[in-house]
Amino acid sequence: MKTLNYFFGALCAMTLATSCEKEDTFQKEVPMPEPKPATEYVGSMTVDQMDGTSFTKEGVKVSYELLDDTTMEIVMYGAKFAEAMPLELNMTISGVEYSKSDNGYTLSGDNIIPYAMGGPFEQYTITGLIGNINDEGMELDFTCGVFPVSFSGTTE
């Protein structure tokens, strides 16, 4: 019985030591992350109908993901460009350039072919994209095909 107790004691000690070692390794290899802004925003998407009116879709969700040190991918969920449009679609804008600002990112992009409905959406090429992301929200302005689009969202 005493032998068994020693065995379990040694096992526990080894387990604790191993845990400490892993924690130490993680601390050494990964630098402390910078304060990361929220990656999902919900807000309104407004599309200039090019006839003097505009269409606003509420509740559009937009997320982003950093691809590398200079570009990110933005995904708009449930985007709708006109009242008469009988469907909502998810649109991915990949290769948006970003630069770090005080508490977030400043965005820009031009001639980006978005990805929607299973493939590249050439006739709705994104031009003149500008925007910024911070802890409080996301602002985007771009032209999709010929339609000027703006998005303003906040974290939920």
Partner 1 sequence: MRVATTDNSKYLCAMKVLLATLSLLAAEPSHAEPELAEPSIDTLRIEEVEVVASLKHDYNRQKAISATSLSMRGLEQRGVASIKDISLIAPNFYQPEYGSSITSSIYVRGFGSRIDQPVMGVTIDDVPVMNKNSYDFDFYDIRHVELLRGPQGTLYGRNTSGGVMNITTLSPEVWQGARFMAEYATLSSARASAAYYTQPSDRFALSIAANYAHDGGFFRNEHTDEICDRGNQGSLRLRMIWNTNRRWRFENSITAAYTSEGGYAYRPYDMETKSYGAIAYNDPAGYERLTINEGFVVKYTDDNIELSSVTSYQLLDDTMTLDQDFTPKNMFTLQQMQTEHTLTEEIVIRNADKEHRWQWLCGAFGFAKWLEMSSPVTFKRDGIDELILQNANKGIHTVFPDNNIIIPNDSFLISSDFRIPTYGIALYHQSTIELGAWRLIAGLRLDYERSSMRYDSWGDIDYKFDLTMKEEDEYRTIHTVFRGKERQSFFELLPKIAAEYHMSRGSLYATVTRGYKAGGFNTQIFSDILQVKMMNGMMKDLGIKLDSAVGTTTYDTASATRYKPETSWNFEIGAHLTPIARLNIDASLFWIECFDQQVTVLPKGNNTGRMMSNAARARSYGVELSAKYSYKGLDLAADYGYTNAKFRNYDDGTADYSGRYLPYAPQNTLSLMASYRLNLNNNILDAISFAADWRGVGRIYWDESNTLSQPFYMLLGFQVMAHMGNVTLSLWGYNITNTEYDVFYFKSVGKSFFSKGRPMQYGIRLNINI
Taking the complex as a whole, how short is the minimal distance between the CB of residue 89 and partner 1, in angstroms?
4
Q: Which is nearer to partner 1, 67 or 85 (CB)?
A: 85
Q: Which is nearer to partner 1, 16 or 82 (CB)?
A: 82
116, 127, 145, 152: which one binds partner 1 (CB under 8 A): 116
Q: For the stretch 122-145, what's the b/e string if a residue is b when 16 or more beta carbons lie within 10 angstroms of its beta carbon?
A: eebbbeebebbbbeebbbbebbbe
Instruction: State in Å, rounded, how far the first CA of the chain is from the last one.
Output: 58
11, 16, 66, 117: which one binds partner 1 (CB under 8 A): 117
Burial class (CB in 10 A: 0-12, 13-18, 19+), 110: middle
Query: Which of 127, 2, 144, 5 lies closest to 76 in space, CA to CA?
Result: 144
Instruction: Map residues 59-98 to x or -, x wherever contact with partner 1 holds by CB under 8 A.
Output: -------------------x-----xxxxxxxx-------
Instruction: Map residues 13-52 to x or -, x wherever contact with partner 1 holds by CB under 8 A.
Output: ----------------------------------------
Give residues with Cβ within 8 angstroms of 31, minimum separation 6: none
Taking the complex as a whole, how short is the minimal distance between the CB of residue 136 and partner 1, in angstroms?
28
The sign of the CA dihedral 78, 81, 84, 87 is negative
Q: Which is nearer to partner 1, 35 or 86 (CB)?
A: 86
Q: Any contact of residue 56 with partner 1 (CB under 8 A)?
A: no
Q: What is the binding site for partner 1 (CB under 8 A)?
A: 78, 84-91, 115-121
